[in-house]
Structure 1
Amino acid sequence: MFDNTIPLLGVLALVALAGLVTVRPLRRALITRSIFSAYRKVLPQMSDTERDALEAGTVWWEGELFQGKPDWQKLHAYPVPKLTAEEQSFLDKECEEACRLVDDWKVTHELYDLPNEAWRYIKDKGFLGMIIPKKYGGLEFSAYAHSQVVTKLSTRSSALSVSVMVPNSLGPAELLLHYGTEEQKNHYLPRLAKGIEVPAFALTSPWAGSDAASIPDSGVVCKGMYQGKEVLGMRVSWDKRYITLAPVCTVFGLAFHLYDPDGLLGDKTHIGITCALVPYDHPGVDTGRRHFPLNAMFMNGPTRGKEVFMPLDFIIGGPKMAGQGWRMLMECLAAGRSISLPSSNTGMAQMTARAVGGYARVRSQFKMAVGKFEGVEEALTRIGAYTYMMDAVRKMTAGAVDLGEKPSVVSAIAKYHVTERARVVVNDGMDVIGGKGICLGPSNFLGRAYQQIPVAITVEGANILTRSLIIFGQGAIRCHPYLLPEMRAAQNPDVRQGLVDFDRALFGHIGFTMKNGWRAFRQGLTGSHFVTVNTDVAPEMKRYYQQLTRFSAAFAFLSDVSLLVLGGSVKRREKLSARLGDILAQMYLISCTLKRYEAEGRRKEDAALAHWAIWDAMYKAQQAFDGVIANFPVRFIAAVVNRIVFPWGHPYVVPSDEVGHQVAKALIAPSATRDRLTAECYLPLEENEPVGAIELALKATLEAEQIEAKIRAAEKDGRFEGNPQANVRDIAIVAFEAGVINAAEYEVMKRRNHLRDIVVRVDDFPFDYGVATANKPADDRMAA
């Protein structure tokens, strides 16, 4: 009897436990109620600005990656963004002309601004109104077209691209389109579209920086005189810096806290952050001074005002939108951040890949093109593969905006990881071109880009804070299927309904965590070889889909374990949060790259670019997993998680040298792959243009290679021994005189040498860099 009792008791216990868990009223009463009560006590109250930031934007593909089982069919179903005929024509004609009008050396060294002709052109041709609908006189371009334009302009000059980028990003036009009154739209949008008005947006404060919600700038509702009449308005004081286009703007958006101590608008003393549209010449407004943003030379500077009276009609959207500024900014930020910096930095990378790749074939050392040295190949590999991935991220993210998304988490990922990869690309480019890169001058095609890289790292959310606070901090709550419902349930003033909702979310969350833990372990045990990919994919890429599915399950499980163990403190453990964000971000970057490879027709000749970029990102994601697990505060749990995620150890090592060789090889010779990789580059095929000279020299170098091989063979046979002219510079002359090459071959070599010398030339200047001459009176200068 005793032997039979034990199994029976076990069965009864299991039945009781099952009943406790599955009978919801019983479960809520005996389990959930106490958890709910404790959760409500520890959950910090959110401010309105925190809530607005958290709820702003939309969840897109990153939500699939958070699920632990991405739907690859959904990824492939996203439309591939395409240009209309009008947009393509604009890119081919107007953008080409805008680039032609700008000489970056003159902009950054002599004018400290775009030339007047370029300013007139981009205003007249609608560059500043690309996002404005045609009914207001704008171009009404898609987000993708906007991205294409910015990318192309960035291959020529950052001052040009930024001057176009900012009016079409977060600023007056976008805010007016979404929130402006009809009167404001009808007045300002046609003027902004035609460049009659030049906009800026003043948000950043010296005392708040990236914590924009804490700006000290404030206004008080009061009565005052405006245009000869007493009206209800605001007396506003502000001190802003880093405001792009502020020195040349004619109207700017201004963000400030609005207060109503006398109750003139209602019973709320602190109305909240408010956005107003202020003419630059309004009495009391101070603009015009400039910052000096690392030789980028785009217009950027401070704006200030003290006790400036302005009517309530200056508020974007009118008085009814007072206090709604933070939500307005958060809702619009995602779209602009999805395009501006990912596009401009991809343009910079494309230019680097094109020019440095060509330079590495033209420039020889030790009688061999430097691009064929394995050490240089490493740098060229990163340049090529990262550029391919950056462009994939740019296009897919811009495409999301055209689908109506405002992907706040994705935009942060794109901003951070594209700009960080751009930093690597440009640094590698500088290493390859060596001494030419560190001596500035008209023929240095990369030096200014190198100087300006920190600008992109810093603006639109400093990269350190974006990585450590936003990507996972916001992504975990927005993308997780149960976290936000749990929080909303706990904050529901109707406690009864809140308990019901919390119970549903809590047990859904528990099941979600267990499923992902088991899925991660099972897929790890089998090396993900049996993971089903639910759509047709390129066979050569299938393993990445399988491994990424495994990593998605492992990430979802690790995130839940981290949140369970650390709770709200995960936000303060910024290093762990950053590494969790790195995993999510690398998965997004890989998804974009896979999407690009499919969208472009599975081109085998481009496969090496995709392989290296994806493998590198997988390796980085794996390192981020290690970083979280190695620093997890509860070591026993860390050990268990490590065994679940990596039951047989690590699947990824550094990318293959052979694949890297194929990537580097694609950069140093003309090909369709190279053209696709650098499709948006502005390429003026003229000898006096640094990038154009490289293009011409690369063609001439390839034409001369067989002739040069003949000369080298003759040299090896001792044909030129003892001739002092048989040096690296003049050996073609000796070979021609010795009859080794004929006249036609000599002309090929002569042209190659001429173009090579232009490419490798390093600029030099007068002893005083021309300062004394520049400071002389005009007559003296003529005499000199």
Structure 2
Amino acid sequence: MGGQGSDEKRSLELAEEARETEWQKPSFISELFMGRVATSLIFPFPEQDPADKRAGDEVLEKLRIFLKEKLDADRIDREKEIPPEVIAGLRDLGLFGIKIPKEYGGLGLSQTNYNRIVQLVSSHCASTAVMLSAHQSIGVPQPLRMFGTEEQKQKYLPRLAAGAMSAFALTEPGVGSDPSKMTTTAVPAEDDESYLINGKKLWITNGPVADLMIVMARTNDPREERPEITAFIVEGNAEGLSTEHRCDFMGLKGLQNGLLNFDNVRVSREDILGSMGEGLKLALRTLNTGRLTLPAACGGAMKQTLAMAVKWGKERRQWGAPVAHHEAVAAKIASIAADIFAVESLTWLTSALAERGETDIRLEAAMAKLYCTEALWRAVDEGVQIRGGRGYETADSLRGRGEAPMPMERALRDARINLIIEGTSEIMRLFIAREALDPHLRIAGASATSDKVNFKEAAGFYARWYPALWLPRFKAPGGVALPGRLGRHLRFVERATRRLARDLFHMMVRHRQGLQKKQMLLGRLVDTGAELFAMTAVLSRAASPQRPKGAEQMADLFCRQARRRLNALHRAIYSNDDRLAYKTARQVLDGDYPWIEENILCTWKEEREKE
């Protein structure tokens, strides 16, 4: 037990050191967990500048034609390769340098236009969308723009904009979200002008075909308890770098992703990105920005899913009416549509917030990633159900027997990874919860790794703050006026936000330092915040003069459904089965229920034991 506790503390300390602890700019989500609805950060809804939109429209028009005429998504899924001519065509369109500034050869487009492009590609071929996104959302271009020297930018950005593929190598076979266990090392070479990298990296998207990659490696003595992690720019054809295995997944069949081996790979000191030992901070900031892309990708896939469900729902007749006219199916279609409105609202809101640079978006990006990926999974699951047997059948099989080749089955397979990549839903909830607790920890003079509490200072703050959370409010937050029935939803958001802050405080008092281990409880608090964030984004968009047709009704439906989910989450905070479930899980792990493995065949276990 002592060793396990020591490892846990070491991991927490490393994570704390890598965090951006200073909140220099306001954050809507941070305010939310303190019981405040910062409407000024969300209202009015940020609309895209007309000139910026025209720049994006020009690229989207060419891209739409290219995707339709040159990119066969079913072939990519079938053959597990994105054809060279497709990659060449994307290069010709400049799509390997969407956000790279024009002075370095890129298109220099905004985050909003970048996400519009990702949304379109994702609606057609998820493998291609992830390839492009991994290259420039988390691959070399993004961290290079954020942390690179001018010499590094001049050297690499033009290559990347011209189509050099890139990757981001962080994860290892034994290391997921806990970087304290990283084993890849970079040690000074004999010439003292370069480093030698040794180790393995797993699940590196674009890794097997990358021309350039960011590699995270430990640069201090491996015998030291706490690793110093540094980022390096590595050439994809470097001597000693090889792909041991190309991974094959449930979906995203066209993706080049693999297990990479580094055997004395030499890297110049000039290719250290950022400062020595700053690798984790670089990785976290890169992922914060990279997560902005996932909501756009989810929106594209959800729209494609709904288009297929609507087409089938109107054409297929059962019991004398189209299946979409039956209430059970109609409810699914309406929910998917309402969720799409929310996902798009979050997408364009967070894109605009990132571009403005006036807010701290680490929580907004994480929250949008969490919410939109789970909304996508609900949508494709319901889409398959609406299509029935045909939803389970591949597009090639449907085409082979003369039916419309709707790729619903592929959409389901491709969607599932989004709840895992760039931070699993569980890790996202813990990350958001940690940031949400930060103001309270600072008030109490404590930290995630210390039990010290300044009770006098904390008592002085909470004696004023907590009673104010119970006081009734009679005006909409921020004096925001909304059309029709939407005003009552914003007033609900304000009440529910204060209730969330009270719930968080109650759980802090009840569990104290142990709250960080109550992952199910923290998850419910975070999900509450996510629903409130989505509701606010939806209401802001529905109130915009440039709102899309039917926005008011769609926002009303979404908010009604969100309010029911919020009430259920609130009840579960105080009444749940977490303790019994955890006890049962430990008993299952200890083999206390042998009947669970009776009358099944686990050949994978036998194969592993032979090794």
| TM-score w.r.t. length of structure 2 | 0.85
1:463-516 deviations in Å (ceiling 9; x for gaps): 23323x122232221xx4x53354379999xx9xx97xx855652233112211
Partner residue of 1:597?
542
Partner residue of 1:100?
69
Partner residue of 1:53?
19
Question: How much has 1:216 moved relative to structure 2?
Answer: 2.0
Which structure 2 segments of 5+ residues have no match? 1-8, 397-404, 580-611
1:723-771 deviations in Å (ceiling 9; x for gaps): xxxxxxxxxxxxxxxxxxxxxxxxxxxxxxxxxxxxxxxxxxxxxxxxx
Distance 1:589 1:491 in 2: 32
1:646-702 deviations in Å (ceiling 9; x for gaps): xxxxxxxxxxxxxxxxxxxxxxxxxxxxxxxxxxxxxxxxxxxxxxxxxxxxxxxxx
Partner residue of 1:117?
85
CA, structure 1 residues 211+261, in 2 after alignment: closer, same or farther (shift >3 Å)? Answer: closer
For the 8 Å contact 2:45–2:544, the answer to whether it is kept is no
Partner residue of 2:181?
214
For the 8 Å contact 1:286–1:305, the answer to whether it is kept is yes
For the 8 Å contact 1:576–1:628, the answer to whether it is kept is yes
Question: How much has 1:629 moved relative to structure 2?
Answer: 1.4
- Does the residue aligned with 2:114 lie in a helix, a strand or coil? helix
Partner residue of 1:352?
305
Distance 1:185 1:381 in 2: 47
2:144 is the counterpart of 1:179? no
2:166 is the counterpart of 1:199? yes
Question: How much has 1:308 moved relative to structure 2?
Answer: 2.9
Distance 1:383 1:357 in 2: 11
Aligned with residue 448 of structure 1, among 410, 413, 421: 410
CA, structure 1 residues 349+485, in 2 after alignment: closer, same or farther (shift >3 Å)? Answer: same
* Range that drifts further, 248-257 or 624-633: 624-633
Partner residue of 2:555?
610
Question: How much has 1:614 moved relative to structure 2?
Answer: 1.1
1:80-131 deviations in Å (ceiling 9; x for gaps): 2344321221112234424532111111113x12222210011122111112
CA, structure 1 residues 84+603, in 2 after alignment: closer, same or farther (shift >3 Å)? Answer: closer
Partner residue of 1:580?
525
Partner residue of 2:277?
323
CA, structure 1 residues 387+364, in 2 after alignment: closer, same or farther (shift >3 Å)? Answer: same
CA, structure 1 residues 288+88, in 2 after alignment: closer, same or farther (shift >3 Å)? Answer: farther
CA, structure 1 residues 632+352, in 2 after alignment: closer, same or farther (shift >3 Å)? Answer: closer
Identity across aligned pairs (percent)? 22
Distance 2:577 2:323 in 1: 45
Q: Give the partner amino acid of 2:372.
A: V
- Does the residue aligned with 1:252 lie in a helix, a strand or coil? strand
Partner residue of 2:592?
none
CA, structure 1 residues 464+223, in 2 after alignment: closer, same or farther (shift >3 Å)? Answer: closer
- Does the residue aligned with 1:141 lie in a helix, a strand or coil? coil
Question: How much has 1:419 moved relative to structure 2?
Answer: 1.0
Distance 1:436 1:617 in 2: 31
Q: Give the partner amino acid of 2:507.
A: S
Q: Give the partner amino acid of 2:333.
A: L
Q: Give the partner amino acid of 1:457.
A: L
- Does the residue aligned with 1:310 lie in a helix, a strand or coil? strand
2:203 is the counterpart of 1:242? yes
Q: Give the partner amino acid of 2:485.
A: E
Question: How much has 1:332 moved relative to structure 2?
Answer: 2.3
- Does the residue aligned with 1:47 lie in a helix, a strand or coil? helix
Alignment of 1:80-479 (within 5 A): 80-82=47-49, 83-110=52-79, 112-195=80-163, 197-220=164-187, 222-224=188-190, 230-259=191-220, 272-287=228-243, 289-296=245-252, 297-317=254-274, 321-339=275-293, 341-404=294-357, 405-442=359-396, 443-467=405-429, 469-477=430-438
CA, structure 1 residues 260+576, in 2 after alignment: closer, same or farther (shift >3 Å)? Answer: closer
CA, structure 1 residues 78+610, in 2 after alignment: closer, same or farther (shift >3 Å)? Answer: closer
Distance 1:216 1:273 in 2: 10
For the 8 Å contact 2:215–2:234, the answer to whether it is kept is yes
Question: How much has 1:185 moved relative to structure 2?
Answer: 0.9
For the 8 Å contact 2:443–2:461, the answer to whether it is kept is no
For the 8 Å contact 1:241–1:303, the answer to whether it is kept is yes
- Does the residue aligned with 1:331 lie in a helix, a strand or coil? helix
For the 8 Å contact 2:14–2:226, the answer to whether it is kept is no
Alignment of 1:18-97 (within 5 A): 47-53=13-19, 55=21, 59-77=26-44, 79-82=46-49, 83-97=52-66
- Does the residue aligned with 2:233 lie in a helix, a strand or coil? strand
Q: Give the partner amino acid of 1:106.
A: R
Question: How much has 1:180 moved relative to structure 2?
Answer: 1.3
For the 8 Å contact 2:295–2:373, the answer to whether it is kept is yes
- Does the residue aligned with 2:208 lie in a helix, a strand or coil? coil
- Does the residue aligned with 2:172 lie in a helix, a strand or coil? coil
Runs (4+) off by over 4 Å: 43-46, 56-59, 268-271, 488-492, 502-506, 529-533, 600-604, 631-634
Distance 1:167 1:420 in 2: 24
Q: Give the partner amino acid of 1:312.
A: R
Q: Give the partner amino acid of 2:569.
A: A
1:367-409 deviations in Å (ceiling 9; x for gaps): 3211111121122122111111111111111121112245222
- Does the residue aligned with 1:621 lie in a helix, a strand or coil? helix
Question: How much has 1:223 moved relative to structure 2?
Answer: 3.0
Q: Give the partner amino acid of 1:94.
A: L
Which structure 1 segments of 5+ residues have no match? 1-42, 225-229, 263-267, 524-528, 635-784
Question: How much has 1:60 moved relative to structure 2?
Answer: 1.8
CA, structure 1 residues 261+471, in 2 after alignment: closer, same or farther (shift >3 Å)? Answer: closer
Distance 2:232 2:387 in 1: 48
| TM-score w.r.t. length of structure 1 | 0.67
1:505-536 deviations in Å (ceiling 9; x for gaps): 652233112211x22xx46xxxxx66565122
- Does the residue aligned with 2:414 lie in a helix, a strand or coil? helix
Question: How much has 1:273 moved relative to structure 2?
Answer: 0.8
CA, structure 1 residues 530+172, in 2 after alignment: closer, same or farther (shift >3 Å)? Answer: closer
Partner residue of 2:608?
none
In the alignment of these two chains, the number of paired residues is 557
Question: How much has 1:202 moved relative to structure 2?
Answer: 0.5
* Range that drifts further, 182-191 or 356-365: 356-365
Q: Give the partner amino acid of 1:88.
A: D
CA, structure 1 residues 533+632, in 2 after alignment: closer, same or farther (shift >3 Å)? Answer: farther
Distance 1:377 1:556 in 2: 36
Alignment of 1:447-596 (within 5 A): 447-467=409-429, 469-477=430-438, 480=439, 482-487=440-445, 506-516=459-469, 518-519=470-471, 522=472, 534-596=479-541
1:126-180 deviations in Å (ceiling 9; x for gaps): 1111121111011111111111110111111011211211122122111111211
Q: Give the partner amino acid of 2:53.
A: T
Distance 2:225 2:516 in 1: 31
For the 8 Å contact 2:180–2:226, the answer to whether it is kept is no
Question: How much has 1:271 moved relative to structure 2?
Answer: 6.9
Q: Give the partner amino acid of 2:327.
A: E
Q: Give the partner amino acid of 1:171.
A: G
- Does the residue aligned with 1:277 lie in a helix, a strand or coil? strand
Distance 1:419 1:113 in 2: 25
Larger Rg: 1
